[in-house]
């Protein structure tokens, strides 16, 4: 799927604003080209880091990163409606990313973000054989939220040196039949439009914001229905009649079931 990458338009105003006034510096933590984990940051004309206000070092455990990356899915517009298609990251990609990204966030300063790239063997639509595909982007924590911005999404590495986008994915806007799937009810949203902002003047289809407190909450237990209670009481009585529990155990468990109503 080259949709996100091939339909990209570079926002020239943003590039001129950021590119001329600042420079991106890179600290390479792990590189196995084209896969990598980097820390990046802006510096001004004097070489001083430009404050970003991130909540770094960020203590996100590998299991938390795993949960976030597993939740990243995309939608395609077809037959006049948006349809959720699939996850962006494969199980293999998530497994390879979760610990390095966790460590990088813990190492980053308040001015640095994490740039990552991962690959997996995948098949294009109707393709017979699998080829190597790459997904990359950046992530950072700010205002209690985990920001994930993708650049190349499932990009087929045919001529990577000539075609691969390697710059900051925040400087790109997309007008396409593709977008990342948001789920506000579970703490996954897209950034709001801010007309005078260099990054948010248009809807960002490649940017997700995870409300960590809301997203990391365990799912609420399903409410108990009268039918459930009736069935549990019936099975409990069968255990008593079969002599598998004592009358005292029966009464104690029966009381617990009824208190759960």
Write the pLDDT tens digit of every residue in 162-220.
666 778 999 876 657 889 999 999 999 999 999 999 899 988 999 999 999 999 987 66
Q: Is it the case that residue 14 has pLDDT exceeding 60?
A: no
pLDDT band at 257 (very low <50, low <70, confident <90, very high): confident
Q: Is it the case that residue 12 has pLDDT exceeding 50?
A: no
Whether the Cβ atoms of residue 213 and residue 144 lie closer than 8 Å to each other: yes
Q: Is it the case that residue 226 has pLDDT exceeding 60?
A: yes
| Residue range 82-93: mean pLDDT, rounded | 91
Q: Which of 237, 239, 231, 233 is nearest to 256 (CA)?
A: 233
Give percent above pLDDT 90 in the chain: 54
Q: Which of 10, 126, 137 is nearest to 74 (CA)?
A: 137
pLDDT of residue 223: 63
Q: Which residue bears the tokens 């897209």? A: 190
Q: Is it the case that residue 45 has pLDDT exceeding 90?
A: yes
What is the model's pTM?
0.77
pLDDT of residue 84: 80
Average pLDDT, the chain: 86
pLDDT band at 244 (very low <50, low <70, confident <90, very high): confident
pLDDT band at 13 (very low <50, low <70, confident <90, very high): very low
| Residue range 222-251: mean pLDDT, rounded | 83
Q: Is it the case that residue 57 has pLDDT exceeding 90?
A: yes
pLDDT of residue 10: 38
pLDDT of residue 34: 87
pLDDT band at 259 (very low <50, low <70, confident <90, very high): confident
Q: Is it the case that residue 251 has pLDDT exceeding 80?
A: yes
User: Quick one: 244 exposed, middle or buried, by C-beta within 10 A (0-12, 13-18, 19+)?
Assistant: exposed
Q: State how far the Cα of 68 lies from the Cα of 73, in Å rounded to an integer.
A: 10
């Amino acid at each position: 799927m080259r949709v996100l990458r091939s339909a990209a338009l570079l926002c020239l105003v943003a590039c001129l604003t950021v590119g001329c006034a600042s420079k991106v510096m890179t600290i390479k933590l792990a590189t196995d080209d084209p896969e990598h984990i980097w820390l990046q940051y802006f510096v001004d004309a004097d070489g001083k880091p430009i404050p970003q206000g991130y909540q770094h070092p960020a203590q996100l455990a590998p299991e938390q990163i795993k949960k976030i990356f597993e939740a990243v899915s995309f939608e395609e517009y077809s037959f006049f409606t948006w349809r959720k298609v699939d996850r962006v990251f494969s199980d293999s990609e998530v497994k390879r990313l979760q610990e390095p990204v966790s460590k990088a966030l813990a190492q980053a300063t308040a001015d640095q973000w994490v740039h990552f790239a991962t690959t997996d063997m995948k098949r294009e639509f109707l393709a017979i054989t699998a080829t190597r595909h790459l997904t990359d982007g950046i992530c950072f924590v700010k205002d209690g939220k985990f920001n994930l911005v993708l650049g190349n999404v499932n990009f087929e590495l045919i001529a990577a040196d000539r075609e691969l986008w390697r710059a900051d994915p925040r400087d790109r806007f997309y007008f396409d039949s593709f977008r990342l799937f948001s789920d506000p009810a579970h703490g996954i949203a897209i950034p709001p439009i801010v007309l005078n902002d260099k990054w948010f003047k248009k809807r960002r289809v490649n940017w997700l914001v995870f409300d960590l407190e809301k997203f990391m909450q365990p799912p609420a237990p399903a409410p108990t229905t009268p039918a459930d209670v009736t069935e549990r009481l019936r099975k409990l009585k069968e255990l008593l009649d079969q002599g598998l529990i004592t009358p005292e155990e029966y009464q104690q468990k029966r009381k617990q079931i009824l208190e759960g109503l």
